[in-house]
Amino acid sequence: MFAYELQHRFVTAGSPLRSMAAHPGYAATNLQSRTESVQDTIMGVLNRVIAQSAEQGALPTLYAATVPDLPGGAYIGPDGIGETRGLPRPVGSSGASHDREVQRRLWELSENLTGVHHDPTAHA
């Protein structure tokens, strides 16, 4: 939602910059094993059986950052079943993520909480 709002702000400002977002799918990293519980054991098995490598999980971010003809607002993820693994490609996001009012409120809340205000016209 944040990336979509940034893209809307770039367009409104007439900026040539583009905002992209990406997700890694299910990548085997140590993020799934920090509870010191049976959950760690289960996640370890799933990491070996279902997950793709951490390196493969990094590909959507690299794709979003380097493919020159992606449209602003593109969302990149793995191309496999359920977007859990595979090669990077543009993917969809939930209907709720396209709610313009919620995007705007998220942006404003982020500005208020961080004290950082971004002016997209500064890059136009």
Q: How far apart are alpha carbons 100 and 92 in whole angstroms?
A: 16
Q: Where are the domains of the chain?
A: 2-123
Q: What percent of the chain has pLDDT over 70?
A: 95
More confident site: 35 or 98: 98
Predicted confidence band at 123 (pLDDT cuts at 50, 70, 90)?
low
Question: What is the pLDDT at residue 29?
Answer: 83
**Which three-class secondary structure state does DSSP give residue 5?**
helix
Is 124's pLDDT higher than 60? Answer: no
Q: What CA–CA distance (Å, rounded) separates 121 from 124?
A: 5
Q: Work out the burial of residue 3: count CB atoms within 10 Å of its CB; fewer than 13 is exposed, 13-18 middle, 19 or more buried.
A: buried
Return phi, psi of residue 90, to 5°. Answer: -65, 135
Topology annotation, domain 2-123 = Rossmann fold (3.40.50)
